[in-house]
Structures are given as structure tokens and as C-alpha cells.
């Protein structure tokens, strides 16, 4: 195998690397496709990827690549936004093995870290000692210390604790020619010739750098001035992997305040906020962050205004932190203000700010916006004037963008709606970039104030520094890396800023797909482009009710993250690395461990919906071909269960499932994991119970509600449906079922004639079904047929004001999203989706004056992943509170996820997902705790892995109602 672009014998290169290193060497399609992009606009296809185990492996890779003239690129979390974490040679992935916290010395306030260590892991280790690492980029949950050092990252607390360079003591580095250096002050570790270069140009270095708190562009050669300690380690920061490869770092920690308060200051617009930011610095705040209204969800309650400053203060006590925040509010000239002292409230607001790098990629009208001019910085006192000029430049070019970011440091983030798909659009991108560079320099600023120059800005460095300083940068690069092997095309002798754009390889015509992709104009390529690489899906722990991405947390593998799967789909559409399109086994294998939990639909800042993409892919991948056995067994579960019901063989099926030889045979034929027990089928369905019951008792006069008999409630847990009927009727609601919709009994007793509800006249043999199991296995033709039949049966319901109450969260989510997105040509689908309510939403909206029975018990368990992602759980939390069910449910995914956890080969990952959040929350629950699990999968997982019976909220309330009855 030869790379025709570079004449490199890749087979020989791969073989030499496998012999030379103990770490992992990947030259396959998947390994390469996963690192073609970072979080920037750029794409470069590497020869291969090496995950080194230690510094010796790094040295070995450099030696092999040096002999063959192959470039080497160091990569951490891959969240760089200027293109510097992509490369055409060998990519070093430090996240797999070289990710340790080597040591932490609380007395000296230092830590020794490897380059692949995620920042949050360092923060967690330092927190018990009252310490923390000062810089905290918004990607702190997945960015690595090596990447932070390479880009000289900053974060929102830089007004208090500076940049990463301010927190670096010593660095262990290996040069491209294999020299191992220990960088520090007083020229420690400087390669031969560096001091001579600096001493020969001291005047230029003293005058050629702007005076800014955030000057990240170019090489930090001013750190080598004698009056600044000739700090070689500091000068290495921000070099973007072009000078040497970092293998270990000694970093400084700072004392964390015991308490914090957050002052939210409201202004008329972002220019007014920017004008005010510099005036707040004398108060010693920890942050001065700015955001405009376009980036704040409408549901978030903030002080009235068009833009806000988030000003955090610290103190030894909550009172002291609050007093400092209130002093800032009194001193600020604001439209309105709010001081938040509740830690949960502060975290909620900070999440909005941290997600902005993703949410800003969509304009209010849904159109796409991109990085490229993400973090220019100007002197803080000039920020307001700069923003006005910046807005004018946007208008002149017909562009839009919403600035936000580190107003206290004069550093602005913005995503702009560049058209990077057409030649005229790319040409405008270049013209705008050139003019904006001139504008930044005119305001005394830096082209990069945080994330580095990379390919996005390095071409324009002569406009900031002049040709002589850029020439000095090139000579410094030559001292460190004379063979130009380390990340070539970055910082010096850069690639053009409009070359290698990642969108250029995508199809120009829409791809023929099944789903409608309404948020992306029906364009599957646009849906895949949603993933901009900020990698929130690579977070190794979740907080609150968050879900994304359970399979990544279980395996730690990039290909099992939402971003990794999106990258493979991107390369599938591009056709260069993944060459067999929808038939790709690499894409299939990456999607195989996607649980279709839909967590990314809500937790991803740009709402990537990998569950839908997976269903789409499986639909095409297996078109005209034999499917896995599990698709026939579990994908068509509604058909099998209806057959059992019609033949009245549930008791026989249950008996055979308990006899080992029969169970083993059934699982083998059905593609079911041998570790799993086959669930018990109800001997009497929910609908049959309903038919026998409907002639008895009086019917309330309240609102009519249609209770959806989903497959799981109907055939596997009818007790949930029975409980829901009892509660809904106790709340004064009239319950009906499709497709035979009739009242339990006409209202009687007052002598008046009461017209029957038109729903009571409907008869029908078919069964409604949301199509969930067909969708999750990619059987979309069958899904559409099932959904259309359902819409036919539900037409009388659509003509009424009755809501559709769905007890199973996954089925409710399918009705809300999958049905209208798959039947995008049928207006009835959207009408049905609009009627769907959860059990708690129904009680809240249609029985608002009803008071649930008082349970007075704590709860544990997990919010269903589909409920979190699609339906929301606010009504459930309020209902639990009214019933005096105390405590919160955990986040994450149970790991069973419908058919996923039952499929052969998925058991270990399924169990690991359950151990992430669900099982620990249940094990730690005190005696008497109610274990809530509204989803059938969640209840089954609890039963099979923990021997615990989870209960639907309807069951808990129904039991409480029974207990309140006289004589109970």
C-alpha cells in the first residue's frame, strides 16, 4: 500500500512502527477516519495513528518517521478549532495510555501530568486539597493538558489565574531528532542555537509583541527575554506541536476559593457589555464573561437585557463571595442584575456559556455558522470599539455572527455563517479573514487570543508581526525542528487558510435518505455536518440528568463516541477513506455499540441525533441483504408478541423460556446474548384486561384522554397500564384506548341525555404501534408501513382535543420525533406527535387541581434516556414532589436500551452502562426507597443485573391510592 500523494510505502511504515513501539498502531480505515478533523473547518487525512505507551514509544515513532520523512502530529482531545490537531503523516494519540496524573504535591502546589490527562481529572484530584489548575477552557471535561499547553489555553478564569503558560513550571520534550529536553527557566533545556537567535534580536522581541493579557499568536519568544527569566518552558507553550513533542509536564496549582457567587449583569447589547467589562477588573473578579441573547435559551430566566456579563467572585465564605458580587452590582451601570449563590444555579448558567461553542454553530434561523475567527483578542479597554467595527465588517460582507467570550480579557469568540460549500462563499471567507486581520491589528490586538493560529490564521501572521518577526519564527522552527517534521503547515510556512476545508469533499447534491431531517433542510450531509468536534460526547462522567454518550464512557474509544461516529459518516460521504459508502463495515461496526439512547439529541450542543443516523445507515446497509438475526427477533418484536397473544400461548412460551435447552436454542436463533434471560410474556394483555373491565364502574366527567397501549405495556408489563388507568380516573379523567375507543360506561345518574363521545363509535381490528423496534434496527420500510397504519387507525383521535397518553418513554419519543421525521410527507404524523403527552404531563395539564396521594418515601433510579432527550422530565419532578417522593433520579442510560442490551455481543457494554449511573444509585439507596423506572428496558435491566424491581410512577401512585381507600 502506497500513499500516492507522498510516495510513502504505508505498509512498510506500519510494519516498522509495530516493531518499534509497544503502544497501538492503527493504519486501518477507522483509525485514520477518526482523526481527519478536529473542531475546526479543516480536514487532513493521516497515514496512520499511534497511541504511545510512554516517552520511549514517542522517541521510537519520531525515529521511524524521521528516517522516512513522514510528518508527526501530536493530538490530545482533538478539540482544537484552528486545524492544528490534524495531519497528513502519523498522528500521536496521547489519550489512550499517556493520560496519567503522575503525582500531586499539595505543599508545593504542583502536579506532574502526562499530555493525555483530561483537565477535569486533574481538577478532581486537586479539589480535596483546596487546589485547582487555573485555566479552564469550556472543553474542560475532555480537553487534555498536552493540548492546553500546545495551544496555551485559557478559559473563563484567566482574569484571575492567567493562561496555561502562566501555570507551567517544567516540560519534558522530545525533539524531532530524538533529543530529550527538560525545559524550564534560565535557558534550561534550550536546543542549540536558540539563545543565539534570541540574543541577536532582543530589540525586536522587546517591541514586537502587543501588550495583551491574551496574545497567543505566533511563538512566545518574548518569554525568552532575560528580564522575563529566559523561560524556555513558557515559550514552548502555544507552539502547537511544531517544536517538539511533550511527554510530561510540571504544572502549578492555585488555591480555589471556598465559596463563589455569580453576578449576572444585564446590558442593552454586547457592545455595552464590552464597554463595561474592563471597568470591573479592579474589583478582582474571577471571571468577566460576556454573552448575547442569541445564545441563551428562551427558557432560561436572566435579568432583562440583550447581553450579559457573568462576573464570578470568590471568598472564604458564602457571605464574603456574595458581598463582593453585590459590590460589583452596585458599581456597575446595568439595565438589571442578579446575584446567584446557589451552586446548582451557577452550574446551570455556566453550562450555557460552556455550550456556546456548539450552540453558536446554528444561527437563530437554523442556518450554519463556523469557526475560523473564533478568538481574536484586543486590549480590554478597546473591546467595545472593536466590537462595533467588527459588526460593521460583518454587515459589509453580508455575514452574521454572535460574539461571546472572555470580555474581561478582550477575547471574543464568534461563529460566523460563512458559506464554505461554494467557490464564491470560500472566496468571501478569505476576503473577510484578511480584512478582519487588519482590523484586529488596528486595535492593537492578536489574531489568536486563546486557541492558537493553526491553519486558520497563521497565513495572516505577517499582518500582525511583520515579515521580519515571522522570519524569526521560521528560524526558531529550524532550530527546534530542522527537518520540518512536526506538524508542518502550522504557524510557519503555513498552508493557505482556505485550503483543505472539510466541507469540500462532501456531496454537492442531497443524499437519498428515508428520514426528513427537518432541522437540516432534508439534507443528510448537513445533518452530519452538525458535528463540529467540540466533543462534549467524550466526557467521561455525566452530571445531573445528562445521558450522552454511554457507549463512550463504557469503552473509552473514540469510535464509540457521537463525534467518532459522525466523523466516520462524514468520511463515508466523502468517499476517500471510507470507500464503500452505505455498505461500509467500519461505519457499521462503529454504530453497532450506539445504544440509540438519543442522549446526543439533547446533550450535544448542536443536537446531533446519532440514533436517527444509525437507523438511516442500517436501512441502507442491509437493503436487499440478509439482516442479523436480532433484527428479525427483536426488531419485529410487536409481531411476535401479537402472535403469542392471538394463539394464547404465553404460558407455553414462558415455560419453554425457563427450560435451558429451549432457551439456549431460542437465544441462539434470535441473536440474543446468552447471558440474558428471556423476559416473561403476560398471559393476559393490557387490552384484554381493559375489554373485560370497561363495562364496570362509573366514568368521570373530566377530560377525555387516549391511553396508548404500547407493545411493552400491552404484552410485557400490563400492570403499568392498569395502574395508569386507576390514577387517571382518580384524577377525574375519562380514559379510552385505540383502536376500539369507547367509554367505560356512559355517564348516568342525573337524568339528562348525554351524547356519546365520537371516539366511542370506532371499531377496528388493527393495533396501533409507534414503530420503535423497526426504527432502532433500521427496518424503515416496515416502520413506515406500521406508522401509516397507525395514523389510519388514529384519524378519529386526531379530530378531537383528546391528548394521547404514552406510558413508555421510548414509544412516546418515537411518536414525537421518529414518526413525523420518517413520515415527513404525511401531515397527520405531526398532528399525532403534537398530541403525545407523558403520564405526568397529562395529569399536570388535564387534571391541574388534582392532588396525588402522599407517598412520603425517597426515590432512586434513572430518568429514562429518551424522556431526558425528547420529552423532558419537569412535569415528572413536579408530580413526584406533590406526592412527597423525595430525591432526584440519576442520569445516563440503563444500558439495555430496547434491543441493544439483548443483542449478542453487547452484554458487557450494556452492563458497564448500567454501572455508570443506574446501579450505583440503586445500591446506595437507603431502605424504603422507591426504585423508579418508567421504561420497560430500565426495569428489565434492574431485575436482571441487580435483582431489584423497578416501578413506573403510575404504579407507585396507584398503590398509594389503594392504601388510602377505607379498609385498605
Which tens digits make up the pLDDT trace of 350-364? 888 877 767 777 777
φ, ψ for residue 809 (rounded to 5)? -55, -40
Q: Is 751 helix (H, G, I), strand (E, B) or coil?
A: coil
Dihedral sign (CA 367, 368, 372, 374): positive
Q: Which residues of 683-719 are buried (b: 16+ CB within 10 A; e: fewer)?
A: eebbbebbeeebeeeebbebbbbbbbbbbbbbbbbbb
pLDDT in tens, 498-550: 999 999 999 989 999 999 999 999 999 999 999 999 999 999 887 777 899 99
Confidence band of 767 (pLDDT split at 50, 70, 90): confident
- Detail the DSSP E strand segments found in 665-779: 704-708, 734-736
Other C-beta atoms closer than 10 Å to the C-beta of 199 total 11
Q: Which of 931, 966, 957, 930 is nearest to 852 (CA)?
A: 957
**Residue 700's pLDDT band (cuts 50, 70, 90):** low
Res. 1 pLDDT band, cuts 50 70 90? low
Nearest Cα neighbor of 141 from 158, 159, 117, 177 is 117
Q: Given CA atoms 225, 227, 229, 234 in this order, what sign does their dihedral have?
A: negative
Mean pLDDT of 542-559: 90
What is the SS3 string spanning 529-591? HCCCCCCHHHCCCCCCCCCCCHHHHHHCCHHHCHHHHHHHHHHHHHCCCCCCHHHCHHHHHHH
Query: What gap in Å lies between CA 961 and CA 968, rounded to an integer?
Result: 10
Which residues neighbour 926 within 8 Å (Cβ) at sequence distance 6 or greater? 858
Residue 925 in grid coordinates: 439507596
pLDDT at residue 764 tops 60 = no
Look-up of cell digits 524521521: 66
Q: Please give the Cα distance from 336 to 266 (Å, whole number).
A: 5
% of the chain with per-residue pLDDT over 70: 95
pLDDT at 698: 56
Q: What is the DSSP letter of 719?
A: H
Q: Of 106-120, 133-147, 291-305, 866-880, where does mean pLDDT reach its minimum?
A: 291-305
Residue 683 CA to residue 685 CA, distance in Å, equals 7
Average pLDDT over residues 451-477: 96
C-alpha cell at 539: 466526557
Cis peptide before 885 (omega within 30 of 0): no
Closest alpha carbon to 790 in 806, 775, 771: 771
Residues paired with 296 in a beta bridge: none
Rounded Cα distance, 526 and 398, in Å: 21
Confidence class of residue 18 from pLDDT cuts 50, 70 and 90? Answer: very high
Pick the closest to residue 355 from 80, 39, 605 (CA basis). 605
Distance of CA 265 to the CA centre of its chain: 28
Q: What is the pLDDT of residue 301?
A: 81
Q: Percent helix, strand and coil across the chain, each rounded to 5?
A: 45, 15, 40
Instruction: Place 695 in a pLDDT band, splitting at 50, 70 and 90.
Output: low
| Residue that wins the pLDDT comparison between 594 and 696 | 594
CA distance to 209, 314, 377, 406, 473, per residue, from 213 (Å): 11, 21, 9, 11, 21
Contacts of 466 (CB under 8 A, 6+ apart): 208
- Say yes or no to pLDDT of 740 above 70: no
Is the CB of residue 838 less than 8 Å from the CB of residue 868?
A: no
514, 209 contact by CB (below 8 A): no
Residue 149 grid coordinates: 499547553
Kindly compute the dihedral angle of the four CA atoms of residues 630, 633, 639, 643, in this order, to the nearest 10 degrees: -170
Q: Quote the pTM value.
A: 0.92
Higher pLDDT, 238 or 300: 238
Cα separation, 38 vs 371, whole angstroms: 12
Tell me the Cα Rg of the chain: 30
Of 684, 208, 681, 250, the closest CA to residue 469 belongs to: 208
What is the structure's pLDDT at 365? 79
pLDDT at 599: 95
- Alpha-carbon distance 495 to 491, whole Å? 9
Instruction: Find out whether 188 and 232 touch, Cβ atoms under 8 Å.
Output: yes
Alpha-carbon distance of 420 to 42, in angstroms, equals: 11
Buried b (16+ CB within 10 A) or exposed e, 237-265: bbbbbbbbbbbbbbbbbbebbebbbbbbb
Q: How far, in Å, are 154, 251, 504, 561, 869 from residue 172 at the CA level?
A: 21, 12, 38, 31, 44
Residue 348: pLDDT above 50? yes
Helix (H, G, I), strand (E, B) or coil at 692: helix
Q: Please report the pLDDT score of residue 354 as a whole number.
A: 79
Whose cell is 386526531? That residue is 798
E strands, 671-821, in order: 704-708, 734-736, 804-806
Cβ neighbors of 154 (< 8 A, separation 6 or more) are 135, 137, 162, 163, 164, 214, 216, 406, 409, 411, 449, 450
Amino acid at each position: 500500500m502506497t500513499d500516492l500523494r507522498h510516495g510513502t510505502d504505508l505498509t512498510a511504515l506500519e510494519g516498522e512502527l509495530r516493531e518499534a513501539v509497544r503502544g497501538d498502531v492503527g493504519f486501518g480505515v477507522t483509525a485514520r477516519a477518526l482523526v481527519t478533523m478536529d473542531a475546526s473547518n479543516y480536514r487532513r487525512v493521516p497515514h496512520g495513528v499511534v497511541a504511545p505507551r510512554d516517552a520511549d514509544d514517542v522517541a521510537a515513532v519520531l525515529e521511524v518517521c524521521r528516517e522516512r520523512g513522514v510528518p508527526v502530529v501530536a493530538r490530545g482531545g482533538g478539540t482544537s478549532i484552528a486545524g492544528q490537531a490534524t495531519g497528513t503523516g502519523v498522528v500521536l494519540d496521547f489519550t489512550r495510555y499517556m493520560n496519567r496524573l503522575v503525582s500531586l504535591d499539595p505543599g508545593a502546589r504542583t502536579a506532574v501530568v502526562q499530555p493525555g490527562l483530561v483537565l477535569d481529572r486533574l481538577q478532581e484530584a486537586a479539589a480535596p486539597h483546596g487546589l485547582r489548575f487555573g485555566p479552564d477552557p469550556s472543553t474542560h471535561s475532555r480537553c487534555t493538558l498536552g493540548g492546553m499547553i500546545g495551544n496555551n489555553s485559557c478559559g473563563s478564569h484567566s482574569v484571575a489565574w492567567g493562561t496555561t503558560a502562566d501555570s507551567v513550571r517544567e516540560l519534558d520534550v522530545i525533539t524531532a531528532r530524538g533529543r530529550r529536553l527538560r525545559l524550564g527557566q534560565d535557558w534550561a533545556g534550550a536546543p542549540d542555537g536558540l539563545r543565539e537567535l534570541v540574543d541577536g534580536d532582543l530589540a525586536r522581541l522587546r517591541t514586537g509583541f502587543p501588550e495583551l493579557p491574551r496574545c497567543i499568536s505566533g511563538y512566545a519568544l518574548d518569554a525568552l527575554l532575560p528580564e522575563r527569566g529566559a523561560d524556555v518552558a513558557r515559550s514552548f507553550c502555544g507552539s502547537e506541536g511544531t517544536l517538539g513533542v511533550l511527554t510530561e509536564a510540571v504544572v502549578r496549582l492555585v488555591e480555589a476559593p471556598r465559596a463563589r457567587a455569580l453576578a449576572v449583569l444585564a446590558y442593552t447589547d454586547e457592545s455595552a457589555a464590552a464597554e463595561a467589562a474592563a471597568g470591573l477588573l479592579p474589583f478582582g473578579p474571577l471571571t468577566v464573561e460576556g454573552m448575547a441573547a442569541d445564545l441563551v435559551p428562551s427558557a432560561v430566566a436572566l435579568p432583562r437585557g440583550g447581553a450579559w456579563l457573568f462576573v464570578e467572585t470568590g471568598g472564604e465564605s458564602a457571605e464574603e463571595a456574595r458581598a463582593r458580587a453585590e459590590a460589583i452590582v452596585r458599581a456597575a451601570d446595568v439595565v438589571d442584575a442578579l446575584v446567584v449563590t446557589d451552586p446548582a444555579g451557577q452550574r446551570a448558567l455556566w453550562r450555557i456559556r460552556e455550550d456556546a461553542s456548539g450552540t453558536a454553530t446554528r444561527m437563530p434561523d437554523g442556518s450554519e455558522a463556523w469557526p475560523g475567527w473564533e478568538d481574536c483578542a484586543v486590549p480590554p479597554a478597546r473591546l467595545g470599539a472593536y466590537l462595533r467595527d467588527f459588526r460593521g465588517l460583518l454587515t459589509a460582507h453580508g455575514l452574521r455572527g454572535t460574539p461571546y467570550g472572555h470580555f474581561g480579557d478582550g477575547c471574543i469568540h464568534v461563529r460566523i455563517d460563512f458559506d464554505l460549500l461554494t467557490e464564491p462563499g470560500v472566496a468571501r471567507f478569505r476576503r473577510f479573514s484578511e480584512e478582519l486581520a487588519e482590523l484586529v491589528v488596528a486595535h492593537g490586538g492578536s489574531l489568536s487570543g486563546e486557541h492558537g493560529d493553526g491553519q486558520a490564521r497563521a497565513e495572516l501572521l505577517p499582518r500582525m508581526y511583520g515579515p521580519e518577526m515571522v522570519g524569526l519564527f521560521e528560524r526558531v522552527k529550524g532550530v527546534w525542528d530542522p527537518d520540518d517534521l512536526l506538524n508542518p503547515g502550522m504557524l510557519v510556512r503555513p498552508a493557505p487558510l482556505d485550503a483543505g476545508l472539510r466541507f469540500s469533499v462532501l456531496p454537492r447534491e442531497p443524499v437519498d435518505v428515508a428520514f426528513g431531517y427537518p432541522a437540516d433542510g432534508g439534507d443528510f450531509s448537513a445533518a452530519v455536518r452538525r458535528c463540529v468536534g467540540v466533543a462534549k460526547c467524550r466526557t467521561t462522567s455525566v452530571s445531573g440528568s445528562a445521558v450522552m454518550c454511554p457507549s463512550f464512557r463504557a469503552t473509552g474509544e473514540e469510535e464509540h463516541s457521537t463525534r467518532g461516529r459522525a466523523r466516520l459518516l462524514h468520511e463515508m460521504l466523502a468517499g476517500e477513506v471510507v470507500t464503500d459508502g452505505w455498505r461500509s463495515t467500519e461505519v457499521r461496526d462503529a454504530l453497532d455499540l450506539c445504544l440509540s439512547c438519543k442522549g446526543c439529541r439533547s446533550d450535544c450542543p448542536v443536537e446531533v441525533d446519532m440514533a436517527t443516523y444509525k437507523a438511516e445507515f442500517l436501512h441502507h446497509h442491509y437493503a436487499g441483504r440478509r439482516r442479523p438475526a436480532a433484527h428479525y427477533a427483536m426488531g419485529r418484536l410487536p409481531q411476535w408478541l401479537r402472535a403469542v397473544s392471538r394463539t394464547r400461548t404465553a404460558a407455553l412460551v414462558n415455560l419453554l423460556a425457563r427450560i435451558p435447552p429451549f432457551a439456549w436454542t431460542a437465544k441462539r436463533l434470535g441473536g440474543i446474548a446468552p447471558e440474558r434471560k428471556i423476559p416473561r410474556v403476560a398471559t393476559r394483555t393490557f387490552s384484554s384486561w381493559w375489554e373485560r373491565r370497561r363495562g364496570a364502574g362509573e366514568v368521570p366527567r373530566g377530560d377525555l384522554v387516549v391511553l396508548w397501549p404500547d407493545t411493552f405495556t400491552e404484552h410485557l408489563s400490563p400492570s403499568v397500564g392498569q395502574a395508569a388507568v386507576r390514577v387517571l380516573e382518580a384524577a377525574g379523567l375519562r380514559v379510552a384506548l385505540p383502536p376500539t375507543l369507547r367509554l367505560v360506561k356512559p355517564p348516568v345518574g342525573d337524568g339528562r341525555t348525554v351524547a356519546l363521545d365520537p371516539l366511542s363509535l370506532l371499531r377496528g381490528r388493527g393495533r396501533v404501534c409507534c414503530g420503535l423496534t423497526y426504527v432502532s434496527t433500521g427496518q424503515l420500510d416496515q416502520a413506515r408501513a406500521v406508522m401509516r397504519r397507525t395514523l389510519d387507525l388514529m384519524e378519529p383521535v386526531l379530530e378531537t382535543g383528546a391528548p394521547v397518553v404514552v406510558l413508555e418513554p421510548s414509544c412516546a419519543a418515537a411518536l414525537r420525533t421518529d414518526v413525523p421525521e420518517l413520515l415527513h410527507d404525511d401531515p397527520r404524523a405531526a398532528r399525532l406527535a403534537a398530541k403525545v403527552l407523558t403520564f405526568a404531563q397529562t395529569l399536570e395539564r388535564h387534571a391541574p387541581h388534582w392532588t396525588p396521594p402522599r407517598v412520603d418515601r425517597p426515590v432512586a433510579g434513572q430518568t429514562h434516556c429518551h424522556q431526558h432527550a425528547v420529552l423532558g422530565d419537569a412535569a415528572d419532578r413536579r408530580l413526584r414532589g406533590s406526592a412527597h417522593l423525595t430525591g432526584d433520579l440519576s442520569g445516563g442510560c440503563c444500558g439495555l436500551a430496547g434491543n441493544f442490551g439483548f443483542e449478542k455481543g453487547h452484554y458487557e457494554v450494556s452492563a458497564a452502562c448500567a454501572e455508570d449511573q443506574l446501579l450505583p444509585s440503586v445500591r446506595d439507596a437507603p431502605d424504603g426507597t422507591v426504585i423508579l423506572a418508567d421504561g420497560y428496558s430500565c426495569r428489565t435491566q434492574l431485575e436482571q443485573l441487580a435483582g431489584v424491581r423497578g416501578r413506573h410512577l403510575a404504579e407507585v401512585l396507584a398503590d398509594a391510592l389503594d392504601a388510602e381507600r377505607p379498609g385498605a
